[in-house]
Structure 1
Amino acid sequence: MIRLSEAQLETALAQCASEPIRIPGSIQPHGVLLTLIGPALTINQISSNCVSMFGQSVAALLQQPLTTLTGAAVAEQVHHALSLKDLEDANPLVLEIDARRWHGSLSRHDAVIILELEPLLEPVQDNTAILLRTLRRMQAATTLQDLYAVSVEEIRHLTGFDRVMIYRFEPQGHGQVIGEALGGQLPGYLGQCFPASDIPLQARELYRLNWIRVIPDARYVPVPILPVLRPDTGQALDLGFSMLRSVSPVHCQYLENMGVRASMSLSLLENDQLWGLITCAHPESLLVSHPVRTMCAAIAQLLSVQITALHTRDRQAEREEKSQLISELALAMRVAEKDVLVGLVDHSKQLLAVTGATGVAVLIEDRLQLIGECPTQEQVRALYLWVREQCLESGELLLTDHLQGLHGVSALYSDVASGLLAFVLPKPVDNAVMWFGAQLRSSMRWSGNPDEHFSAPGDASNRLQPRKSFAAWEQQVEGRSRTWSAADAYAAKELRRSAIEGDLDRQVRREHEAVRVRDELVAVVSHDLRNPMTIIIMQCGMMQRLVSRDEGKNSPRLSAALGTMEEASARMNTLIADLLDKSKLDAGHYPLDCKPLDIVELLEQTCALLVTLTSHKDIALSCTSAAGLCIDADPQRLFQVLSNLLGNAIKFTPPGGCIDLNAWQVDDKVLISVRDNGSGIHAAQLPHIFERYWSVREGNPNGSGLGLYICRSIVQAHGGELWADSEPGVGSVFTFSIPAFVGGAVKT
């Protein structure tokens, strides 16, 4: 055996992880496998041992109906089983072929039916009494350890295997033997651990999908399936759900090195995830009958249910123990004045107790509070940068009992922070809660040295070989804290959720306060500014009349100055009105006094009011509308929209130009457009023209940038839309829609 370097080991483990164990192309020899397709159950592939089992050649059976091998009666049994909703309700079938009885198992995968046949072992024993006794003993167990003991003892008694043990997968990936029953021939491994590489991930997935796996004789010679590829697809046959599937030669060598010739594995699941295995071993070949295997699978399934139920009970009890602490901390965050996390700092004792941490750091912007046993301020701030990146990327908690395995620098302070449980809130300032778990030095007993890995001499690919020694190996463990429990993670998640809710609540309250202040400001502006502006405008008008009667030499200059003042005051009044409208629209308090409006009348009145402005620039204004159009709208607000759109068109249309005002109906909407042949709007600006304070169009230095925003908001308040099309140098078209009013009701 050649010891592998670290780089060679990484390559070897990758090879193990990619081994195609689902498509070995062969089966174990204690049964026969057929694949069937089509209504006639045509034999698509078959294992080559059909010759020794049935006396018929592969060539004679391929592409023939199942009846060729089994006869009509058995084929009818198979047809009936396939009609069931769940094939497991039919398995195992008892089939008689050529006066010999067989156990048949059916599975369906990748559009092919797999029929596996095993000779029925005689005599058939009735183990019902044993199974009932087992179930009673399991139900009477009050602890998981009692359950483990009952399960392994009864399965050993049922099957005759010399060693039966329960193997639990740990969060770090390795497995530990937590229950065991021995017959005296094979050594025990209770309490010992096995490396994660002993059962690669793809093998674990097959254990998750299948309750049972048997190897009656690890020294078997694989039986090929013929043809090698499926004739219907040209692909290798997936045997992931096959009972007879041939296993990896590496696994057979592993069993040989352990002194095991026969094995059986039963899966233990918790919430559909592989929790562990019941592994059975025997020093000689041993074939367990199908009925006994079924009973063992039932025991494994019941044990899985019990494990899930007891773990759920324990987790719920842990959560309930923490619920009072979580509630106290959540309340503290809600009532904290400055920042939600300040509430946690003020309750440091509860903050440590809620996760069982030995230290905790709370970061609030530039303030870092350390509680209990923690790294230094500088170390925590440096660690935070990495924690923030991890948490914000995943959107979840960061949880580990081996921090230095993820963040190497943390080895400098592993005594106080070997474990970390942390969250970061999704907001733009530095923040974090980081719980630390102190280092717990311990020892682990391994079945063989977990750090020794070998390949076979002369193997250029450095394929990993199973270790030869399974003698107990003691290892000192450092750099790890206690494992954070599911209840610890739950507590951290609940506090994170409460903190986010608290931040959102504060934000809503701040926004409500901002709206209140804004509304007060608008009221002040509306009253305290509009009234003086009205007086100024009136006084300007009165002074203009007085100046017009004065024939002095300064009269023209005074008149021009008063005109400028009057115009500026009018613009200021318009701006105040726009700001008032914007405030109402933003707050959703924009009342509409809707009534049926005749479109022709509305357009004619609007044009009549603006004809003076168009005449001044010699602009032709046309108004066209289909007869009978009616909408339900606020006339004052709709006039505001039309006058704004027409005012803009007049402003940007050159003297001698033309403006068209049109109205027509499309389905249940009335459309009104204002078309001009003015300067147009550049394509880059067009998407922004309805935004607040947009006033970048050339020649509009005095605009507030609110007109189009208000127009669109008014139209939307009526249930319509406003949009624009424009081409520089050609002109613009502004179109808006309003629901039509027909027969006393608005179409919406």
Structure 2
Amino acid sequence: MIRPSSEQLDAAQLQAALAQCASEPIRLPGSIQPHGVLLTLSEPGSSEDGLLIGQISSNCQALFGLSPAELWQQPLATLTGIAAAEHVRQALLLPQLDEANPLLLEIGGQRFNGSLSRHDSVVILELEPWLEATQDNTVILLRALRRMQAAATLEALYAVSVAEIRQLTGFDRVLIYRFESQGHGRVISEALGGQLPGYLGQCFPASDIPPQARELYRLNWIRVIPDARYVPVPILPTLRPDGQPLDLGFSMLRSVSPVHCQYLDNMGVRASMSLSLLEQDRLWGLITCAHPQPLLVSHPVRSMCVAIAQLLSVQISALQTRDQQTDRDEKSLLINELTAAMRLAKHDVLDGLANHPQQLLNLTGASGVAVLVEDRLQLIGQCPTAEQVRALYLWVRERCQEKGELLQTEHLQSLHAGSAVYSDAASGLLAFVLPKPVDNAVIWFGGQLRSSMQWSGNPDEHFVAGTDPDQRLQPRKSFEVWEQQVYGRSRPWSAADSFAALQLRRAAIEDDLARQVRREHEAVRVRDELVAVVSHDLRNPMTIIIMQCGMMQRLVSRDESNHSGRMSAALGTMEDATSRMNVLIADLLDKSKLDAGQYPLDCKPLDVVALLEQACALLVTLTSHKGIELNCSSAEGLSIHADPQRLFQVLSNLLGNAIKFTPVGGRIDVSAWQLDDKVMISVRDNGGGILPAQLPHIFERYWSVREGNPNGSGLGLYICRSIVHAHGGEMWVESEPGVGSVFTFSLPAAE
């Protein structure tokens, strides 16, 4: 609760009293209101052991002529008779008790409305005397539902709801009380009969409805107090049969806090009824009904009021959603304009926003906006100074990193005390930063809204000290209008404002990412052009060096001196190194084309048997030098649609690697077969195999170089698999150290 004035309680007493109020066990009062009788029952079983009375309110003696002692642990039929007890039993067998309530029960010649609930494994039966209707309330209810469904605005919906509930129930005052984001409540609509004062537009402090009471309102659609001056009726025994206090959180008859009854009496209210308004599962507000004299509304009428509250809750959500969507649609045009401006900006995406100042302001209805891009800061409209904005940006950046996408507040100085010096220009703030390493932000400012709030009584003096030694807080006695001047706050940012800022941020991120991709693509293109030019220019001198080395080898071979032998070996080394350089240049050209997606294929129908025979014939000389057995087998009639030169490059690489790593006297098998619509080709060797840790990386670029292999560029297998992929196939490897490796690739079979 909000604290009383310092003159009334010292700080220690205040804190103790507040803690006591906040912890009041309102769900466990141990008593009920006297307009009905409450019983707890065991679950229905056989006629001998089911529906036994565990607890009962003490007013059963006055109403039924039987004392709690006479009824304790007795079957329900002892009180109600067999017919009524059986009615209760059948209702408890239903999957949903709400389908049975209210039960019309006849007990001792009187008719009662019975309400069943089940909580904490306890069945509660509440009995209220049946009240005969004085008017056809169904007609009023149907009219109310039609008028509510026809309401085009929230204001019209509120007005219809309070007027119809007042007509239905006979309460003198019916109002709608909405919970604001700061916690207090505001009266937004009311219907008056003339006896009680109105509170339209006035605010009530959050302490009027403490947290535990709000939770009960969230869980229950309705609460009634027919006479606030009632004397509580105890429930006997005090504890349940299992020794626990009885939870009455879902009871219609639950006795309410004495503080609340005193609060109503101070307002001049004898009878009240409250209906909850929910937004999804959140308590949005209340419909509160008040009357200056005692008033008990019948159970059927209360059910009708609950139906109105439920429909009102749904209608509020629907109209709020509609209004928000309308606002979003209007802002979408501005978002499109600003998105286009960001796309056309030459340097940074946010530079485009600064060129459309009015659209940027209109997007959120701000009074000022700052756009920061690295060392460039542009202020539009009513803003703090440049130095103040730059200092504020450091705080905004930190908070955005903590909170995520957006930072917004209508009371900036409550979060950033230093902003108080420029609250006229920036009492509210809505901001985002982009996930970039450079300074950047868009910060909208809401100017200070000079206004006043009308409170029902002084908001700083909600409660006064009691006279009891425990210093219980007592509700205030004055509800006279008390006006409070509001400083340091801006207009609240709407859901559509937040949506617009969020959409603009997302558009900025997408455009920024697109720019990065374009820059990277351009860098790749320039790199590929450089590789192509350098490779082309290197090939001619490499070829000349190889030819010259061959000529010099022939000349030196005629000289049989030791000097000529060393020269011949050196020339051979140069020739091998130059040949490897030519292979590397070819691999780099292939890699560049593959990375750019520009690898040309000249596909044609190929006979797989002929292709394999050609590849094995060209490499058989290398296998014979090491005494390797080379076997080539293929199913007949296999045909593929592929580029023969590129496919031969794949086979040559795989066979060359197999020959390189197969020991003298080893074996290499090349096989081809068809599996569904794919032709499978494998190259198997019985070499040393590949270590398990290396196997997942074998097709990566430069892997062999990173592993310290001096032979090759580390691009061969990467290029092979990329060529197969370009044909629409797949390549993989299976290997076991000491056993050998199998490289397999698939290609689509020719149709």
Normalising to structure 1: TM-score of the pair?
Answer: 0.80
Residues 606 and 639 in structure 1, CA contact (< 8 A), matched pair in contact too: no
**Does 2:410 match 1:401?**
yes
Please give the residue correspondences for 1:361-372 in structure 2 after superposition, counting only pairs within 5 Å. 361-372=370-381
Residues 434 and 509 in structure 2, CA contact (< 8 A), matched pair in contact too: yes
Q: Deviations over 1:475-512 (max 9, x none)?
A: 22111011112222222122223222322333343344
Q: Which segment is superposed worse, 545-554 or 628-637? A: 628-637
Quick one: which of 184, 188, 204 aligns to 1:178? 188
Deviation at 1:340, TM superposition (A): 1.8
Please give the residue correspondences for 1:125-524 in structure 2 after superposition, counting only pairs within 5 Å. 125-132=135-142, 134-135=144-145, 144-218=154-228, 219-221=230-232, 223-224=234-235, 228=239, 240-270=249-279, 273-452=282-461, 466-524=475-533
Give the distance between the partners of 1:723 and 1:20, measured in 2 at CA: 70
Give the distance between the partners of 1:482 and 1:292, measured in 2 at CA: 41
Give the distance between the partners of 1:514 and 1:645, measured in 2 at CA: 34
Q: Deviations over 1:435-455 (max 9, x none)?
A: 000111222122233234668
Question: Is the alpha carbon distance of 1:698 and 1:294 closer, same or farther for their aligned partners in structure 2, counting shifts above 3 Å?
Answer: closer
Quick one: which of 578, 589, 599 aligns to 1:580? 589
Equivalent position of 2:730 in the other structure: 719
Give the distance between the partners of 1:70 and 1:133, measured in 2 at CA: 40
Give the distance between the partners of 1:580 and 1:62, measured in 2 at CA: 95
**Does 2:654 match 1:642?**
yes
Q: Which segment is superposed worse, 703-712 or 537-546? A: 703-712
Amino acid at match of 1:721: W
- DSSP-derived class of the 1:427 partner: coil
Q: Deviations over 1:248-300 (max 9, x none)?
A: 45544543444434321112344564332111123444321112212222333
Q: Which segment is superposed worse, 700-709 or 286-295? A: 700-709
Residues 178 and 191 in structure 1, CA contact (< 8 A), matched pair in contact too: yes
Residues 115 and 127 in structure 2, CA contact (< 8 A), matched pair in contact too: yes
Amino acid at match of 1:541: G
Please give the residue correspondences for 1:602-621 in structure 2 after superposition, counting only pairs within 5 Å. 608=620, 610-611=622-623
Equivalent position of 2:56 in the other structure: 48
Q: Which segment is superposed worse, 249-258 or 58-67? A: 58-67
Q: Which segment is superposed worse, 460-469 or 559-568? A: 460-469
Q: Deviations over 1:285-338 (max 9, x none)?
A: 432111221222233344444444543444344334433322221221122222
Give the distance between the partners of 2:13 and 2:306, measured in 1 at CA: 39
Deviation at 1:362, TM superposition (A): 1.1
Residues 177 and 192 in structure 1, CA contact (< 8 A), matched pair in contact too: yes
Residues 61 and 69 in structure 1, CA contact (< 8 A), matched pair in contact too: no
Deviation at 1:192, TM superposition (A): 1.6
Residues 599 and 631 in structure 1, CA contact (< 8 A), matched pair in contact too: no
Give the distance between the partners of 2:443 and 2:389, measured in 1 at CA: 9
Aligned residues: 725
Deviation at 1:181, TM superposition (A): 3.4
Deviation at 1:207, TM superposition (A): 2.8
- DSSP-derived class of the 1:416 partner: coil
Amino acid at match of 1:49: S
Identical amino acids, percent of aligned pairs: 64
- DSSP-derived class of the 2:545 partner: helix
Amino acid at match of 1:636: F
Give the distance between the partners of 1:465 and 1:660, measured in 2 at CA: 97
- DSSP-derived class of the 1:425 partner: coil
Q: Which segment is superposed worse, 704-713 or 593-602? A: 593-602
Residues 425 and 447 in structure 2, CA contact (< 8 A), matched pair in contact too: yes
Deviation at 1:373, TM superposition (A): 1.7
Give the distance between the partners of 1:230 and 1:648, measured in 2 at CA: 87
Please give the residue correspondences for 1:720-735 in structure 2 after superposition, counting only pairs within 5 Å. 720-722=731-733
Amino acid at match of 2:186: Q
Amino acid at match of 1:324: L
Question: Is the alpha carbon distance of 1:632 and 1:304 closer, same or farther for their aligned partners in structure 2, counting shifts above 3 Å?
Answer: same
Residues 371 and 378 in structure 2, CA contact (< 8 A), matched pair in contact too: yes
Give the distance between the partners of 1:455 and 1:622, measured in 2 at CA: 104
Q: Which segment is superposed worse, 54-63 or 340-349? A: 54-63
Equivalent position of 1:32 in the other structure: 38
Give the distance between the partners of 1:236 and 1:531, measured in 2 at CA: 98
Give the distance between the partners of 1:497 and 1:489, measured in 2 at CA: 12
Residues 47 and 223 in structure 1, CA contact (< 8 A), matched pair in contact too: no
Give the distance between the partners of 2:73 and 2:651, measured in 1 at CA: 86
Amino acid at match of 1:32: L
- DSSP-derived class of the 1:354 partner: helix
Equivalent position of 2:709 in the other structure: 700
- DSSP-derived class of the 1:721 partner: strand
Q: Which segment is superposed worse, 70-79 or 58-67? A: 58-67
Amino acid at match of 1:494: Q
Equivalent position of 1:618 in the other structure: none
Residues 616 and 632 in structure 2, CA contact (< 8 A), matched pair in contact too: no
Amino acid at match of 1:211: W
- When the two chains are superposed, the root-mean-square deviation of aligned CA atoms in Å is 4.8
Q: Which segment is superposed worse, 44-53 or 213-222? A: 44-53
Q: Which segment is superposed worse, 427-436 or 391-400? A: 391-400
Question: Is the alpha carbon distance of 1:543 and 1:359 closer, same or farther for their aligned partners in structure 2, counting shifts above 3 Å?
Answer: same
Amino acid at match of 2:651: F
Give the distance between the partners of 1:44 and 1:136, measured in 2 at CA: 45
Give the distance between the partners of 2:445 and 2:89, measured in 1 at CA: 60
Normalising to structure 2: TM-score of the pair?
Answer: 0.80
Q: Deviations over 1:129-181 (max 9, x none)?
A: 44455456656766544544443344334323333222122222211112233
Equivalent position of 2:111 in the other structure: 101
Equivalent position of 1:79 in the other structure: 90
Deviation at 1:520, TM superposition (A): 3.8
Quick one: which of 551, 555, 569 aligns to 1:546? 555
Amino acid at match of 1:367: R
Give the distance between the partners of 2:244 and 2:437, measured in 1 at CA: 53
Amino acid at match of 1:199: I
Question: Is the alpha carbon distance of 1:320 and 1:710 closer, same or farther for their aligned partners in structure 2, counting shifts above 3 Å?
Answer: closer
Amino acid at match of 2:654: L
Give the distance between the partners of 1:660 and 1:203, measured in 2 at CA: 83
